[in-house]
Chain A
C-alpha cells in the first residue's frame, strides 16, 4: 500500500522582549546561573505576576505576520504540573482563549498550511546534570514564549522544513525573535502519522518532542514515518505516545509513559486580569509592521527582474534587503538593479564568514555611496571590473567612491576616450589587426590587452572589443 505522511507542528518561539513576561528581569541568553532572577520569576511565596505589555504586542505582530485573527478578549490560565524547573508548579499559559487564531502560511508549492492558534506563555528554567547531581538554573524561567500550533496540513517533510524556515525568517523580519535553534529560541514538537494515500481519515499519531535542528527534524520524521508504515504493513497498530529523537543513533524512542497521562488541571489565572486588544491597537501594530519576506521576494523578482535565487538571498535578511533597496532607490535601469544585486552577492557577501554576519550586515559603505558607484557603472564611466575593485577598496578602507576614483580615471574610460585608444591600438598593431581580419580570432586579445594597458585596466573590456571589431570592419584591414 502507498502511504501518505501527515504532520502537524507545535512550535515554541522565544520572544526577544528586553524583560521577562511577568517581571522586570532581563531575557538575555547566557549569564551566570540564577543571576537573571527575582522573587517573582522564582515564584517566592506571595509574589504575583504582572503581564509585560510588550509580550502581547510582539505576539500580536507574530499573529498578523502569520495571517491570524487577533482575539479582542483573551486570558491567561494556569497549567499545573510538577517539575523542578518550574518554580511555581504551574506554568502561566493560555488554554481556551488564545491571543491569535485561524492563520496560515503559504508554501512555495502553492499549498496553504493552516495555523490553528498562537498563544503566549512563560518558559521554564533549565536543569543542569553534573557529576551525578542536578542543578537548576532559573535564568530562562519566565522568558516569554509564543506557541504556534499548525493544523496537521503537512504531507511532506520538505514542507515542514520550508514552513519552519519561513517561520524563522518571518519572526526575524518583524523582530519578535531571533529564532536560533541552537540557543533554543526556536523549538519544535512534531506530530507524525501516516494514512493510506487518498484517505481522509488520519492515522494514530505520535509526538516527537523538542526537536532543535532542521536536519534532525527531516531525519526524525522520515524515521518515524517508516516505523509507523512498518507497523501497519505487518498488521499492527501505532500507539499514541510521546517520542524522543535520539540524534546520535538516528531513531525515535518513546519517552516515559507518564508524560502522556498529564492532567494539567487548567484554570483561569486569578492573579492576572483579562487581556483586551482593541481593533485600534491591532491596526497600530499592523501599521508598524515591515514588509514581509514573501512580499519582498515577489517584488524583487517581478519589479526589479532579479533572478529568483538571487532575490531570495537578498530578501532573506532584513538589513541586506534594506541596503539593496536604499542603494537602488534612485536608480533608473534594470541593469542597475542587477548590478547592485551582483555586487552585494559577489563582493559584499564574500567578506562575511557566517550567516550571522550577513544578518547583522555591518559594512562601512553607505547606500548613498553604493548608489554613486552604481551610477558610474550604469553610465559606463567605469567597467564592471572597476566597480568590483572600487567596492572592495571601499569595504576595506571605508573610503568614499570619489576618494578612490579620480576624475582622470573616469575620463580614461569614457566611450570617446576608448574610441581614441582603440584607434591608437590598431595603428600601432597593424599586424594583429590584419591577423584578426583574416580570420585569426585570437589576435583580438592582444589588441584588447593593449587597450587595457593604456587605460590601466579601467576600460570596459567587452566594450573595447566591440569597438575594435567595428573599426577593423570599417577600415577594411
Chain B
C-alpha cells in the first residue's frame, strides 16, 4: 500500500493534506469503538502534510514514506507530544527528546497521526492493562486487539494509519498483528535503535513495523534499520530488504517447529497446514523439526524480562516527571504512594517478580540459571539454522481472546506467548503474516523466523506467500481503507 500511496502523492492525484485529513476523519469516526489511539496529533500531522505538499508543488521529489500518515506506539519518545506508555504514572509527561526511529521518520516528513494504545509499559498480551482501557479488535470489538502493541495493530487493520511502529519484547508486535490480520515484523535484536523506546526489558525489546502487507513491512524496516551511535547494541540492518522480497524461493528449506504446531487450536493448525502446502507448491522443501528447549523459553522470559523491568521501572518516582501523589510525609512515603497509585496490577506483579529473582540468595537459582537456559535456546536455534533457511510456526496457538478474559487467569495468558517468546530470547528476526480466519471470523497468522540479520530472507519467504495467495487474507480483513487501492 505504501508504494501505491507514494505514487498517488507524486502524481498529485491526492495531496498529503487531503490524505492526512481522510485518516483523521476515519479515526474520529471509527476509533470510538476501537480505542486504538490514546493521543491524536492532528495539528502536527497537518503541518507535516503541508510541508510535503509544498515540496510537491515546487516539483521536488519525495521519499517513500514522506507524507504518509502513520502512528507510533505510546512508548516511543516524541518531543512535545505525550508519551505515557499507557500508565497513570507517566500522566502529564511530555518528552523533551525524540526517539531515533521517530527522528528518522520526522526528517522524512512522515505524518504522525498520534500515539497508539498498548498494555501498560508493554506488559501484557491483550492491550487491556492500558490505563486508557484496551484497544478492540476491528474484526470483532468483543475481542481484544492483542498486545502489547494492540493499538497499532488495531489502527492499521482498521485503516486508521498506513502503518505503525510497535515494540516487541516477547511477541508484542507479532501477536497483535496476527490477532488483527496484519503483518508484524520483529527485527533482529540490534537491527533497529532502541534509543527513545521506553524500556521494558532492555535485552529483549525491539522496535518494528506493523503494516497491511509484507512489502510495506519491508519498506518501513529499510527506513528505520539504521545504525545509531546512541544505542551501542544497535548495528543497523546489513542490507536493504526490499530488493530481495521477490527473490525466487524454490529449493529453500523451511523447518516447521512441531512443538508449536501441536500446541495450536484446530483452526490455527488447519490454516498453517495450508500455508505449508502453499510453500511446497512454490518449490520449498518443508520438514518438521523439534526445538525441545523452547519449552523452557517462557520461564526464561518471565525471569529475564521481569528482572530487567524491575530495574528499568525504578526511575518512576514522581520526582522529575510524570504523576506524583499530592500528599505524603517524606521521600519514602512519596515514592511508595506514587508507585502504588501509578502502576497497574500487572506491572506491579512483574516488578515484584523481577525484584525477587535478582535478590541476594535467589540470583543463582533464577537469573543466572535463566541465562544458562537462554544460551541453550540460542544454540538450539543456531543448530536448526544449519539445516534450514527459516523456521515456520503459528504466531499464536489461538486467535484473539475475548475481552476481559485475560484478567481472570494471568498464567494461561503468559502461555499464549509460547511461539513468539523464544524468538526474543534468541534475538532473532521474525515476521507474522495473515493466513486465514477461524470459525468466528477472527484472523490467524503464521510466523517465519530467520537467522540474525536475515530480515531479507524472512520477508522474502513471507512475501512469496502473500503473492501466492494474492494477498487475499489481507484485503479481506481490512476493506475500510480511506483509499481503495
Contact = CB atoms under 8 A, between A and B. Distances in A.
A360 interface: no
A48 B314 contact: no
Contacts of A236: none
B311 A265 contact: yes
Interface stretch (A37-45, A66-74, A185-193): A37-45
Interface in B253-268: none
Contacts of B307: 267
A89 B351 CA distance: 13
Given A267-B311, A272-B232, A45 B358 contact: no
Interface stretch (B197-205, B288-296, B383-391, B451-459): B197-205
A282 to B, nearest CB: 22
B311 A78 contact: yes
Interface stretch (A79-87, A286-294, A351-359): A79-87
28 contacts: A39-B95, A44-B320, A45-B77, A45-B90, A46-B76, A46-B77, A46-B83, A46-B99, A46-B198, A48-B195, A48-B231, A80-B314, A80-B358, A82-B314, A82-B317, A84-B317, A84-B319, A87-B319, A88-B315, A90-B311, A265-B311, A266-B358, A267-B308, A267-B358, A267-B367, A271-B194, A271-B202, A273-B233
B406 to A, nearest CB: 25
B95 A50 contact: no
A136 interface: yes
Top 7 A-B pairs, shortest CB-CB distance: A89-B314, A270-B202, A265-B358, A270-B203, A45-B198, A46-B77, A46-B196
Given A50-B229, A273-B232, A45 B314 contact: no
A261 B202 CA distance: 27
Interface string A448-475: 0000000000000000000000000000
A175 B422 CA distance: 49
A184 to B, nearest CB: 22
B321 interface: yes
A45 B320 contact: no
Interface string B304-338: 00011011001101011100000000010001000
B96 interface: yes
A47 interface: yes
Contacts of B99: 46
A263 interface: yes
Nearest to B231: A48
A273 B77 CA distance: 23
A301 interface: no
A263 B360 contact: yes
Q: Which of A39, A80, A90, A267 has the most CB of B within 10 A?
A: A267
B97 interface: yes
B320 A271 contact: no
B151 to A, nearest CB: 18
Contacts of A267: 307-308, 311, 358, 363, 367
A39 B78 CA distance: 13
Contacts of B320: 42, 44, 87
A5 B173 CA distance: 62
Q: Which of A82, A263, A270 has the most CB of B within 10 A?
A: A270
B355 interface: yes
B355 A265 contact: yes
Interface string A270-288: 1111000000000000000
A181 interface: no
Contacts of B340: none
Nearest to B330: A134
Contact of B195 (A47, A80, A273): A47
Contacts of B277: none
Contacts, number: 100
B97 A44 contact: yes
Contacts of B231: 48, 271
Contacts of A39: 95-97
A116 B359 CA distance: 25
Contacts of B232: 48, 50-51, 271-273
Interface in A14-47: 39, 42-47
A87 B359 CA distance: 21
Interface of A is mostly: loop
B311 A89 contact: yes
A263 B231 CA distance: 29
Interface of B: 75-77, 83, 85, 90, 93, 95-97, 99, 194-199, 201-203, 229-233, 307-308, 310-311, 314-315, 317, 319-321, 331, 335, 355, 358-360, 363, 367
Given A80-B310, A84-B319, 12 more contacts: A39-B95, A39-B97, A45-B95, A46-B75, A46-B83, A46-B197, A80-B311, A80-B358, A84-B331, A265-B363, A267-B308, A273-B232
A87 B315 contact: yes
Contacts of B95: 39, 44-46
B25 to A, nearest CB: 31
A47 B315 CA distance: 12
A89 B363 CA distance: 19
Contact of B97 (A47, A89, A271, A273): A47
A271 B231 CA distance: 7
A265 B314 CA distance: 12
A122 B30 CA distance: 49
B373 to A, nearest CB: 16
A273 B234 CA distance: 10
Nearest to A34: B320
B194 A48 contact: yes
Contacts of B230: 48, 50
B206 to A, nearest CB: 12
B321 A44 contact: yes
A44 B96 contact: yes
A210 B61 CA distance: 62
Contacts of A273: 232-233
Contacts of A263: 359-360
A302 to B, nearest CB: 49
A151 B414 CA distance: 48
Contacts of B197: 46
A89 B203 contact: no
B83 to A, nearest CB: 7
A178 B308 CA distance: 36
Contacts of B358: 80, 265-267
B48 to A, nearest CB: 22
Contact of A45 (B315, B355, B359, B360): B315
B99 to A, nearest CB: 6
Given A42-B320, A46-B198, A273-B232, A88 B359 contact: no
A47 B202 CA distance: 11
A89 B315 contact: yes
A45 B202 contact: no
A90 B233 contact: no
A48 B320 CA distance: 17
Interface string A327-369: 0000000000000000000000000000000000000000000
A263 B311 CA distance: 13
A127 to B, nearest CB: 10
Contacts of A78: 311
Given A50-B230, A51-B232, A272-B232, A265 B359 contact: yes
A266 B362 CA distance: 12
Contacts of A87: 315, 319-320
A46 B200 CA distance: 9
A82 B76 CA distance: 25
Nearest to B355: A265
Interface in A222-274: 263, 265-267, 270-273
